[in-house]
Amino acid sequence: MEHQDNYYKGLFFGAILGATAGTVMGLLFAPRKGTDTQMIISGKVKHALDKAAEYYESAGQEEPYSNEAKHRSQEIIDSARDEARKILDEANTIIRDIRGTKSLEN
């Protein structure tokens, strides 16, 4: 059972790492301006988090495991929100660095 838990933990962290790397690469090679892309990403992340929070709040107390499920889902929502903020902060830093590099070259 512990092996399976480690597998899922590795899968989760691999997915987060892959999403972060993909986001950074996407921002670097995006056809749109960085601010436009950032607004699109932040809007989609906010929408997903709002939808997850809505499901969390509307879940019933009927099942015996619902409290644990709600607690775990809230942890996931909080974790996703923190990761999204980190990704957006990293993206903003990269965009500022790129803009700074461009202005130094000109």
User: For the chain, what are the domain ranges?
Assistant: 2-105
pLDDT beyond 60 at 63: no
Mean pLDDT along residues 38-65: 74
3-state SS track over the chain: CHHHHHHHHHHHHHHHHHHHHHHHHHHHCCCCCHHHHHHHHHHHHHHHHHHHHHHHHHCCCCCCCHHHHHHHHHHHHHHHHHHHHHHHHHHHHHHHHHHHHHHHHC
Give the range among 25-34, 60-69, 84-93 with minimum mean pLDDT. Answer: 60-69
In the predicted model, what is the mean pLDDT of the chain? 79
